[in-house]
Amino acid sequence: MKRFAIEFAMSDRKQEVKRWYDGFTFGNRTDIYNPWSILNYLDSRKLGVYWANSSSNSLVGKLIREGNKEIKQKLEALMQGESLQVEIDEQIVYGELNTKKNSIWSLLIQGAGYGG
């Protein structure tokens, strides 16, 4: 954030930008910003809800439709208010979504982080 304020001569807006876009925590790491929002803010110089409607749920829908019976049963249990304990891959990449067993859960967690 310090570099942002210096390079874009916007140090007077630093706290305002931090309040709007610093909302992510991964493990014990804080001060993580939504990159889509920051890039759009720098382009427009206006605060805004840039992440809203910036993606679709089609990938999640595809993984659910093509998922095995176990995935569908776990998803149904979640919708009925039950809890679920699975291993999450915080470094999941697009190319691994169809090959990793718990990729659907990693993707859903990431989507929740972006308000998806």
102 vs 80 pLDDT, higher one: 80
What's the pLDDT at 55? 58
Confidence label for 73 from pLDDT (cuts 50, 70 and 90): very high
Nearest Cα to Cα of residue 23 among 13, 14, 34:
34
Nearest Cα to Cα of residue 51 among 67, 68, 64, 38:
38
CA of residue 48 relative to chain centroid, distance = 17
Confidence label for 115 from pLDDT (cuts 50, 70 and 90): very low
Q: pTM here?
A: 0.46
Buried b (16+ CB within 10 A) or exposed e, 52-65: eeeeeeeebeebee
| Helix, strand, coil tally for the chain in percent (to 5) | 55, 10, 40
Judged against a pLDDT cut of 70, whether residue 112 lies above it is answered with: no
Portion of the chain with pLDDT greater than 70, in percent: 78
Supply the mean pLDDT for the chain: 76
Q: Which amino acid is at 49?
A: V
In whole angstroms, give the CA distance from residue 39 to residue 41. Answer: 5
